[in-house]
Structures are given as structure tokens and as C-alpha cells.
Amino acid sequence: MNTVKVLAPAKLNLALDVVGVLPNGYHDLDMIMQTVDLYETIILRKSQNLTLTLPGSRVPAGATNTAYKAALAFFHYTGLLAGVDMEIRKAVPVRAGMAGGSADAAGVLVGLNALYGAKLSMSELCAIGAGIGADVPFALVGGTCRVKGVGDLIKALPPMPECWFVVVMPSFGISTPEAFAKYDQVGSSVHPDCAAQEQAIRQGDLAGICSAFGNALEECSGAVETPHIREILDGAGALASSMTGSGAAVFGLFDSREQAAAARDILKQEYRQVYLVRPCKGGARVLPPLRRGKAAR
């Protein structure tokens, strides 16, 4: 096998609370996270070099890119004297709080593990990923999870009840460090009950899940369009709406695909990046190779 193709899903924060500061100075978080069927596509080819291309994207492709860091970390951990040519077709908005960069890193780790037959466990991949970015371990595990600490404490939960999300990317992205710095200055009046939301997920109670929506970073994110977008989503029938991560993307949850599609169409009149997505199970995954003689459908 000389080439692998990986799909790596974006994530949404159904709830995000800042519960303290850890001894290392990082914020102690409590979150409910969900992967959705908006995917980065990562193509990896065996090589003696280490290259990264991102066709059509303005994201830097150098050594600061999370995918590049993931490849270096993989080869360092395994000791393999090898390389890879990486091509990433980006679909997740940048600076959105949807973990597109973390999905890329997770996709590279999973893909290299398959490409070179390294047989690393999920625990090993997550340990490597934690050194790259806080959301990378979740991007590897995926599905519905309660995530604590700096993203390193992950508890898998049952799948979400059937629902749809409409996700809107505003005109401007948000810097994660700036959002947390602002939180340190002004705090937040929003502190969602992640324990209650976990219980509602376990019970398949969509109304209970929605009643526990909230993001402690929303008030201080500086994303001025958030209230306007949420107002449109709520008016279009969303059961709940919130900002995801440190922003700037905003999403609403719908129990009807028809209502969700109608809300998407309304928001598309004002915003360029609007997505209708569903919860998905699992994180970054390698696609099975096409059999010889079989054409892709």
C-alpha cells in the first residue's frame, strides 16, 4: 500500500465550560463534544521526503501546520526513517472552533499508522496527538464524548439522538489564545451543566441535551455576529443554538431536517459558509482501498 485516503470530521461543542486553571497554567475545561459529517480529506503517499500541499486553501503549509507537526511526531515516535507526501483538501472553516487543524493532524496520524503498518494503538496515537494540539485526541476518538482537562481526559458517550445541525461561519474568525485571554480578563456568566447534558445524552433526551447548551467563551469571544446568527437560527426553529469552541462558528440544533434545510437557506442569503450536517460516529478514519477493476461510484 503506497497511498491512503483519510476522512477526518469537524467537531462541535454542545457545551463548553471553564472550570479552573491547572497547575501548568492551562485552562481546565469541561466539554461535551460531537463530531459531524463535514470532513477534511487527507491523501498520504509514501515518500523519502516530507511535503504538504493544501490545494485551494490559504492555510500555511509549512512546519507550523498541525499536519506537518503530526507527521514529524509520528516518525519521531516510531523511529521510521521514511517520509510522506501529504495533500489535504480542506472543507472545515478556519478559525471557526471546529477543530479543522486538529482533524488534519488526527488524519495524518491515523493514515501514517495504516500506510506504514505501524500498528500503534489508539492510546499511543492520542498520546502523540496531545503533544500537537488539545483537540487532536478527540479528533482521533470522535463520536460523542465528554472531554475534560486540556482535552486529554476523554469519556465516550452513547451516540446523539437523531438530529441535524446548521453551522454558520461568520465573516471573521477567532484566535483561540485571544479568546482565552479575554476570558481571563472578564470571565463569563455562562457555565453550562455538562453533567446534566451527559445524562440527557445517555437517556436519548434531545430536549434535555438542548437545555444544557452553553459556551463559557461566547460572551468574551469578540464575535460580534454571534447574537444575530443565533437569533436567526432560533427564529427558524432551532431547539438550541450556541457558538462552538472559542469561535467563531455558530450552530443550531434541529429535530427536523426540513426545518434545518430551511434555516440553512435563510442564512445562505447573508453568509457564504453555511453547512447542514449531522452527528457522526468515530473520528479520523482510513477509507478502504478501491479494488482493482472497480470504479469509484
* 3 state SS for 69-127: HHHHHHHHHHCCCCEEEEEEECCCCCCCCCCHHHHHHHHHHHHHHHHCCCCCCHHHHHH
Residue 193 known to be catalytic: no
Q: What is the pLDDT of residue 297?
A: 44
Find, among 168, 166, 105, the residue nearest to 140 by Cα: 105
Residue 296 has pLDDT above 60, yes or no: no
Q: Name the active-site residue from 69, 90, 135, 182.
A: 135
Band of the pLDDT at 289, cuts 50, 70, 90? confident
Using one digit for the tens of pLDDT, what is the confidence trace for 113-143? Answer: 999 999 999 999 999 999 999 999 999 999 9
Residue 87 · residue 43 · CB < 8 Å: yes
Q: What DSSP state is assigned to residue 241?
A: E
Least confident of 78-87, 159-168, 284-293: 284-293
> Is it the case that residue 57 has pLDDT exceeding 90?
yes
Kindly state the average pLDDT of the residues 160-187: 92
Structure confidence at residue 80 as a pLDDT band (50, 70, 90): very high
For residue range 95-118, what is the model confidence (pLDDT) as tens digits? 999 999 999 999 999 999 999 999
Averaged pLDDT of the chain: 95
- 11 classed as catalytic: yes
**Residue range 254-263: mean pLDDT, rounded:** 98
Choose, from 5, 11, 46, 85, the residue flagged as catalytic: 11
Nearest-angstrom CA–CA distance, 214 and 21: 19
Mapped onto helix, strand or coil, the DSSP state of residue 56 is coil
Nearest to 31 by CA among 141, 160, 145: 145
Tell me the average pLDDT across 229-246: 98
Please report which confidence band the pLDDT of residue 25 belongs to, taking 50, 70 and 90 as the band edges. confident
Domains and CATH numbers, the chain: 3-158 (3.30.230.10), 164-277 (3.30.70.890)
